[in-house]
Amino acid sequence: MTGATNGSAPTGHRARPVRLGPRAIAALVLISAIGVGAFGWPLLADEEFGLAHSQDAPWLFGALLPLLVGVVVAMIADSGLDAKAVAMLGVLAAVGAALRPLGAGTAGLEPMFFLMVLSGRVLGPGFGFVLGAVTMFASALLTGGVGPWMPFQMLSMGWFTMGAGLLPGPDRLRGRAELLMLSAYGCVAAFAYGTVMNLYGWTIVTGLGSGISFVAGDPLSENLVRFLAYCTATSLGWDLGRAVLTVALTLAVGPTLLRALRRATRRAAFEAQVTFEAPKG
């Protein structure tokens, strides 16, 4: 007799983040290493390399897309993700892309960041990295913001969302303590996102002044001092607006959205295993 398939979702009281297996971890480490190299190589380059980042964006984008697919495939292989997970990824990315233009970049007010924090928290670091990168890609297409900066934005947003999935206590910490932790992370990570993106822009802008301009070939310590001065002079207020809005929305909407995301994750039962039982009788 042939076996019968029982695909019912397991019952449980808590929605667990999507588990990261060894292949997914390896893919994330590889893509992050490439990203760190892409952002940081101008600091170690000689002056004869010319304009930093002038030619590397297409190469980075070409490496980023297959690696993102690799992360998704690895998560499917390790955790058994199915079409429901891909559908949730698409929905959240579409919502995030739609939220981004609402602030129109005014004073750094970008409401998509709070959604990335909460989604990364519920769905885990691997899913979060892919969600952050795909959301930034979709928003660039939506707003016409496609340019050499786009792969760098995708990496930065992927790291931003992944970090929320790496916060402690996903199965135990709930309520006010969790909201305060997510708000603190959103604040710090909003500044970190701006700082990382500054590292891209700073190396291609010339004529800023001797105290804050990037100088190819100069000692790393001297360029880092100039970089800190550049961040303070050009983007501190912008990053502050992003951080304040992220904290405010996390505290205001966080409880409701966390419950909705966890309910959807439980119903989707991403890690439900298909079992086979012999027919009775």
Q: What percent of the chain is modeled with pLDDT above 90?
A: 33
Please give the pLDDT value at position 48. Answer: 61
pLDDT over 60 at 23, yes or no? yes
The pLDDT tens digits for 74-88 are 777 766 566 777 888
The pLDDT tens digits for 205-225 are 766 667 788 887 788 888 899
Residue 190 near residue 239 (C-beta atoms within 8 A): yes
Please give the pLDDT value at position 268. Answer: 66
Residues 138-161, mean pLDDT to the nearest whole number: 86
